């Protein structure tokens, strides 16, 4: 119940609503591209193929947020977990504003889709955002 309460409070904030929108956008792009390509985009992101600052910033932010979120959840600090995941809002927004996921270069496209999968996976530690209305 404390986890649900913390999630509810988080989603009532601007960061929560905007992160939810960004996560849903990432999940929708992934769903469409995975269906079209007949494969999933799991696996490691290749840092050397992140050429835009927003890609690098998002990758780093996910790594930090994931670690903080997992530690908070292990300690049953659900508000702390929400605070950690909230730090993804700005990097997710910047990524979608400045990076074209479906790049002409297939290597960059695949790596960016893997990065979107990292967003989806990072938020799954907190909640399945795809099941949240809004």
- How does pLDDT run across 39-97, given as a tens digit for each residue? 999 999 999 999 999 999 999 999 999 999 999 999 989 889 888 988 999 999 999 99
Nearest-10 Cα torsion for 6, 8, 10, 13: -150
Dihedral sign for Cα atoms in the order 90, 82, 20, 58: positive
Please state, in angstroms and rounded to a whole number, the distance separating the CA atoms of residues 88 and 72.
16
pLDDT on residue 114: 97
**What is the band of 3 on the pLDDT scale with cuts at 50, 70, 90?**
confident
pLDDT on residue 133: 67
CATH architecture of 2-131: Orthogonal Bundle (1.10)
**What is the band of 9 on the pLDDT scale with cuts at 50, 70, 90?**
confident
Contact 15, 85 (CB under 8 A): no
Average confidence score pLDDT of the chain: 90
Please state, in angstroms and rounded to a whole number, the distance separating the CA atoms of residues 34 and 102.
12
Q: 107 is written with which tokens?
A: 């290597």
Q: 129 is written with which tokens?
A: 């955002």
CB within 8 A of 81, min separation 6: which ones? 3, 6, 68, 69, 72, 73, 125, 126
Q: For 116-127, what is the mean pLDDT?
A: 86
Above pLDDT 90, what percent of the chain?
60
Place of tokens 């989603």: 11
Name the residue with higher pLDDT: 124 or 39.
Answer: 39
pLDDT at position 115 over 70: yes
pLDDT on residue 4: 79
């Amino acid at each position: 119940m404390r986890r649900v309460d913390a999630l509810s409070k988080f989603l009532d904030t601007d960061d929560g609503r905007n992160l939810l929108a960004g996560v849903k956008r990432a999940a929708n792009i992934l769903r469409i591209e995975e269906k079209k390509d007949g494969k999933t985009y799991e696996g490691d992101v290749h840092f050397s193929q992140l050429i835009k600052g927003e890609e690098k910033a998002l990758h780093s932010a996910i790594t930090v947020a994931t670690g903080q979120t997992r530690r908070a959840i292990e300690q049953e600090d659900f508000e702390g977990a929400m605070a950690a995941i909230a730090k993804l809002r700005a990097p997710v927004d910047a990524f979608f504003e400045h990076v074209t996921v479906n790049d002409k270069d297939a290597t960059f496209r695949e790596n960016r889709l893997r990065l979107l999968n990292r967003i989806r996976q990072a938020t799954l530690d907190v909640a399945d955002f795809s099941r949240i209305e809004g």
